[in-house]
């Protein structure tokens, strides 16, 4: 008996559940009507017909049968409106000073961090030999000049001898100039204005023409080299404004402009090299610093939609737009994804309501009810 009781209770529960579903569902009511158990009335038929045909084709089923959805308005946004990149700074002009001759360092006249002017003597090589050569050349020049002068005043000297004396005088002058040049090259001078770096030599070192004496940076302006994605290659022009920040100067923004754009795109990274120049009159920036570079562009304008509104099917991406309380599918092409919005190419207008929640029950041409539709403002009584 217990088994039969359990079977009976189970059948009763199943039956009750079936009839509960049937009486609360238009499909179930139709099944019961076909079985002759209940007769479907006009409201049931209307509900069934409203659910089986697109809204707007007649029939009943009013607002209570509409799908409840949440919408967000379409907006407008610009693509490629900002470029962020990391750049490296360098001085507007940098020179590594090397000697023009070889020899021992006899004197160092510059220190690290010192401001120098073009032509300032930074160090000297030993010049004893060059001084002797200069004196010898001057003696030879004096002798040649006297000989040439005496030959000019003598009528008995052949013209050819006079010419030889004049040539000897000119050669002596050239020898003096060469000796003075060699002596001058014993001084290592600054080729530009700037700030001296760390001096890499000591007195007594044997320097050659390949020896690095000191580096000089003209940092009155700082160049920042950075790489921009390929899509910006034609948008970046010389003279465009550039903003940069540096870790060494937190909270400060430096303004400069594009000085040069490379003539080709790097095939490996698909980027183009850009050089910007920043004024450094206050000497706040240094060569070698890293910079966070930002550039702003006007960009192209596209519809901007909520990321939740974009759906996908076998044919691609789309959104549900609500118009006259009916939903219709609008195909979109994603242009750019941002954290809070998606820029798309589609036939959308600003403020078009797009479904973001309740998407599972939305159908083409189906009736929808916007749950977050703003209420009409109340007029305050006077």
Residues 335 and 355 in one domain: yes
DSSP-derived secondary structure letter, 231: G
If you average pLDDT over every residue of the chain, what do you get? 83
Q: What is the mean pLDDT of residues 276-286?
A: 92
- Dist CA 8 CA 150 (whole Å): 152
Residues 150 and 288 in one domain: no
- Which pLDDT tens digit goes with each residue over 290-310? 999 999 887 788 999 999 999
Residues with Cβ < 8 Å from 354, sequence gap 6 or more?
71, 72, 73, 74, 305, 306, 309, 319, 320, 321, 322, 348
- Which pLDDT tens digit goes with each residue over 204-230? 999 999 999 999 999 999 999 999 999
| 3-state SS assignment for residue 228 | strand
Cβ neighbour number for residue 160 with a 10 Å cutoff:
8
Is 7 inside any structural domain? yes
Cβ neighbour number for residue 142 with a 10 Å cutoff:
13
Q: Count how many domains the chain has.
A: 4
Residues 224 and 261 in one domain: yes
Share of the chain above pLDDT 70, in %: 81
- Dist CA 283 CA 219 (whole Å): 7
Residues 293 and 307 in one domain: no
- Dist CA 87 CA 105 (whole Å): 39
Residue 59 confidence (pLDDT) above 70: no
CATH of the domain at 348: 2.40.420.20
Q: What's the CA angle centered on 294, arms 288 and 296, to 5 degrees? A: 150
Residues 49 and 111 in one domain: no
Residues with Cβ < 8 Å from 274, sequence gap 6 or more?
225, 226, 227, 228, 236, 258, 260, 261, 262
So what's the pLDDT on residue 131?
Answer: 92
Q: Is residue 178 within 8 Å of residue 138, measured between CB atoms? A: no
Domain that holds residue 359: 67-79+301-370
């Amino acid at each position: 008996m217990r088994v039969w009781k359990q079977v009976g209770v189970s059948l009763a529960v199943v039956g009750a559940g079936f009839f509960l579903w049937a009486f609360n569902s238009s499909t179930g009511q139709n099944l019961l009507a076909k079985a002759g158990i209940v007769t479907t009335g006009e409201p049931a038929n209307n509900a069934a017909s409203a659910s089986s045909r697109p809204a707007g084709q007649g029939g009943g089923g009013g607002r209570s049968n509409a799908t409840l959805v949440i919408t967000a308005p379409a907006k407008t946004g610009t693509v490629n409106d900002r470029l962020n990149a990391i750049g490296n700074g360098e001085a507007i002009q940098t020179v590594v000073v090397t000697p023009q001759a070889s020899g021992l360092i006899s004197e160092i006249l510059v220190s690290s961090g010192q401001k120098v002017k073009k032509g300032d003597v930074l160090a000297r090589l030993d010049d004893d030999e060059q001084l002797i050569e200069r004196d010898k050349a001057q003696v030879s020049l004096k002798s040649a000049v006297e000989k040439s002068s005496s030959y000019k005043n003598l009528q008995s000297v052949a013209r050819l001898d006079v010419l030889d004396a004049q040539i000897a005088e000119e050669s002596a002058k050239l020898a003096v100039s060469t000796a003075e040049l060699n002596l001058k090259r014993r001084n290592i001078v600054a080729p530009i204005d700037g700030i001296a770096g760390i001096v890499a030599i000591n007195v007594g070192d044997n320097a050659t023409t390949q020896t690095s004496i000191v580096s000089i940076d003209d940092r009155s302006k700082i160049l920042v080299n950075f790489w921009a994605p390929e899509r910006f290659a034609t948008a970046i022009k010389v003279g465009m404004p550039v903003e940069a920040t540096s870790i060494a100067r937190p909270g400060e923004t430096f303004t400069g402009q594009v000085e040069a754009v490379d003539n080709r795109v790097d095939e490996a990274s698909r980027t183009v090299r850009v050089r910007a120049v920043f004024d450094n009159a206050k000497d706040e920036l240094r060569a070698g610093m890293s910079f966070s570079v930002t550039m702003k562009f006007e960009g192209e304008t596209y519809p901007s939609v909520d990321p939740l509104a974009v759906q996908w099917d076998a044919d691609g991406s789309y959104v549900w737009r609500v118009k006259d309380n009916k939903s219709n599918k609008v195909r979109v092409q994603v242009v750019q994804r941002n954290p809070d919005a998606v820029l798309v190419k589609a036939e959308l207008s600003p403020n078009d309501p797009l479904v973001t929640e309740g998407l599972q029950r939305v159908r083409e041409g189906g009736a929808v009810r916007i749950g977050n539709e703003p209420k009409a403002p109340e007029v305050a009584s006077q």
